[in-house]
Amino acid sequence: MTHEALAQVLGTHRPGITVALHELERAEMIATRRGQITVTDRPRLIRAAGESYGLAEAEYKRLIGPFAPASGASGSRYRPNL
């Protein structure tokens, strides 16, 4: 996912995404490569998110239903902690 695409999804400006990603990477909560973001310390990332953690997942579940990626999909072990 590009910084531009992430900015569009989040409804913000691309430069802010770049700054935020760099800060999270410096704190060793994520690792980035071209088009890829890997969470390296999920517990710290959740703590850093504070009260905002889980809001998007809860809204997705309310509107669409439980998240269940297709079998064999990348990241298929992800289960929102709701």
- Please give the Cα distance from 11 to 79 (Å, whole number): 24
Q: Which helix (H) or strand (E) holds 7?
A: helix 3-10
CATH code that applies to domain 3-63: 1.10.10
* Average pLDDT of the residues in 52-74: 79
Q: What is the pLDDT of residues 5-30, one digit of tens each?
A: 999 998 999 999 999 999 999 999 99
Residue 49's nearest CA partner among 76, 26, 20, 79 is 20
Intra-chain end-to-end CA distance of the chain, in Å:
25
Instruction: Return the bridge partners of 38, or none.
Output: 31
Specify the pTM: 0.67
Would you say residue 52 has pLDDT above 80? yes
Instruction: Give residue limits of the domains in the chain.
Output: 3-63
DSSP 8-state class, residue 40: S
